[in-house]
């Protein structure tokens, strides 16, 4: 039995709530990979699943609807304004990247982008860092495989780095609030793991990203070649912002809708189990999981296990983190494309940190 938002008991064990939520979770994990129409309309699909989860859990009320309408506003506004600004200054941005690639080899450039954006995201926020990332990657015009791998590595980096201060992302803000910590609480707690990992991701990018950016080829020529037809239209900027609004709204419904399942079967588990269970953050809102799981009564090892499990698995699939959502929307990266790199790479990191943090 768990209490809903009005304080009434919901019978989650003997009724339809838990089976229904498990069924929705399985659909979210499988349908985007099984059907292209679902993959191409991921925002609408997740919105439907989120509404279904909230209805099954019995928490769909005015409070949740208002929350779901308000939650995406800041992110959507940031994406829209940045999209307009980047479009206005697209030519100068491309020229700056080409000028940089004249003097900086691509492996070093990849290392700097992945590392600097990851660390800076704790100050400039994960949203702004991801917006800068997609504009840089768009200007590079890499081959498709290199572009996707570059973005995924950078999103892992941004997702991790943004958790170092409460400014970076909602997960960090909620964690500090729940634990009663100061501004530097997360840096002290997980900085020893996060900072070397961000640098390590940059090194991986430098050594393993293959391909020669078109921007570099142009930089070697006698002059800059402008391509005004390659950029997106103002309509594209608006559509992308609306898609991200719907995406974040869907995650709000999903996160709150799955609360009975989390309360019944996740809370109270040992840190070793929580670490792996938190792979749910690949498809659910990790801020919701943070709010549900973290407590000042936890031992430091448990806090580290919960946070690192959430942060790493958040990079595995598109819904797992805001940088993933923004980048996939702008660069039209599909669920299967992302999972092909994100899932195995995320699992490797999960295994490594299981031994470092949990054991």
Average the pLDDT over 136-158 and give the result: 92
Of 141, 310, 113, nearest to 216 by C-alpha is 141
Instruction: Give per-residue pLDDT as tens, 299-332.
Output: 888 888 889 999 999 999 998 888 998 899 889 8
The C-alpha torsion from 352 through 208 and 111 to 130, rounded to 10°, is: -80
Q: What percent of the chain is modeled with pLDDT above 90?
A: 35
Q: For residues 53 and 258, is the Cβ–Cβ distance under 8 A?
A: yes
Q: Quick one: tokens of 56?
A: 């099954």
Q: What percent of the chain is modeled with pLDDT above 70?
A: 90
Average the pLDDT over 36-42 and give the result: 86
Please give the pLDDT value at position 72. Answer: 86
Q: Quick one: tokens of 62?
A: 């005015």
Of 14, 19, 3, 28, nearest to 56 by C-alpha is 19
CA gap 313, 339 in Å, rounded: 12
* Three-class DSSP category at 3: strand
Please give the pLDDT value at position 8. Answer: 44
Task: Write the Ramachandran bin of 180: left for phi over 0, alpha for psi from -120 to 50, otherwise beta.
Answer: left
Q: For residues 129 and 158, is the Cβ–Cβ distance under 8 A?
A: yes
Distances (CA, A) of 252 to 2, 102, 128, 138, 305: 19, 44, 21, 29, 24
Instruction: Give per-residue pLDDT as tens, 41-91.
Output: 888 999 999 999 999 999 899 999 998 999 888 888 888 888 888 888 878
Higher-pLDDT residue of 156, 28: 156
CA gap 129, 163 in Å, rounded: 13
Q: Residue 211 — very low, low, confident or very high, per pLDDT cuts 50/70/90? A: low
Please give the pLDDT value at position 7. Answer: 42
Q: What b-and-e string marks burial along 335-359, b requiring 16 or more CB atoms within 10 Å of the CB? A: bebbbbbbbebbeebbeebbeebbe
Please give the pLDDT value at position 214. Answer: 65
CA gap 100, 235 in Å, rounded: 30
């Amino acid at each position: 039995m768990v209490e809903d938002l009005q304080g009434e008991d919901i019978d989650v064990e003997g009724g339809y709530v838990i089976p229904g939520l498990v069924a929705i979770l399985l659909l979210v994990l499988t349908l985007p990979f099984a059907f292209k129409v679902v993959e191409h309309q991921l925002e609408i699909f997740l919105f439907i699943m989120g509404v279904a989860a909230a209805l099954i859990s019995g928490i769909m009320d005015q409070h949740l609807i208002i929350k779901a309408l308000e939650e995406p506003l800041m992110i959507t506004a940031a994406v829209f304004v940045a999209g307009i600004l980047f479009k206005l200054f697209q030519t100068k941005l491309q020229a700056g990247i080409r000028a940089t690639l004249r003097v900086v080899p691509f492996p070093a450039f990849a290392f700097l982008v992945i590392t600097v954006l990851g660390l800076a995201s704790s100050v400039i926020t994960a949203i702004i860092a991801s917006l800068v990332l997609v504009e840089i990657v768009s200007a590079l015009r890499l081959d498709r495989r290199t572009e996707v791998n570059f973005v995924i590595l950078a999103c892992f980096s941004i997702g991790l780095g943004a958790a170092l201060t409460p400014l970076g992302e909602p997960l960090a803000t909620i964690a500090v609030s729940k634990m009663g910590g100061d501004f530097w609480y997360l840096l002290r707690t997980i900085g020893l793991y996060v900072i070397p990992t961000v640098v390590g991701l940059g090194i991986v990018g430098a050594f393993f990203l293959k391909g020669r950016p078109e921007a570099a080829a142009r930089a070697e020529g006698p002059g800059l070649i402008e391509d005004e037809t390659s950029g997106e239209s103002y309509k594209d900027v608006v559509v992308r912002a609306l898609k991200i609004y719907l995406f974040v709204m869907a995650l709000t419904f999903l996160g709150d809708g799955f609360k009975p399942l989390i309360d019944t079967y996740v809370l109270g588990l040992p840190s070793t189990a929580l670490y792996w269970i938190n792979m749910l953050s690949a498809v659910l809102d990790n801020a919701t999981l943070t709010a549900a799981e973290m407590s000042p009564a936890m031992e430091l090892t448990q806090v580290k296990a919960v946070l690192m499990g959430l942060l790493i698995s958040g990079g595995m699939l598109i819904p797992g983190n805001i940088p993933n959502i923004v980048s996939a929307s702008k660069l039209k990266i599909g669920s299967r494309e992302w999972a092909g790199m994100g899932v195995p790479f995320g699992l490797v990191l999960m295994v490594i940190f299981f031994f470092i943090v949990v054991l």
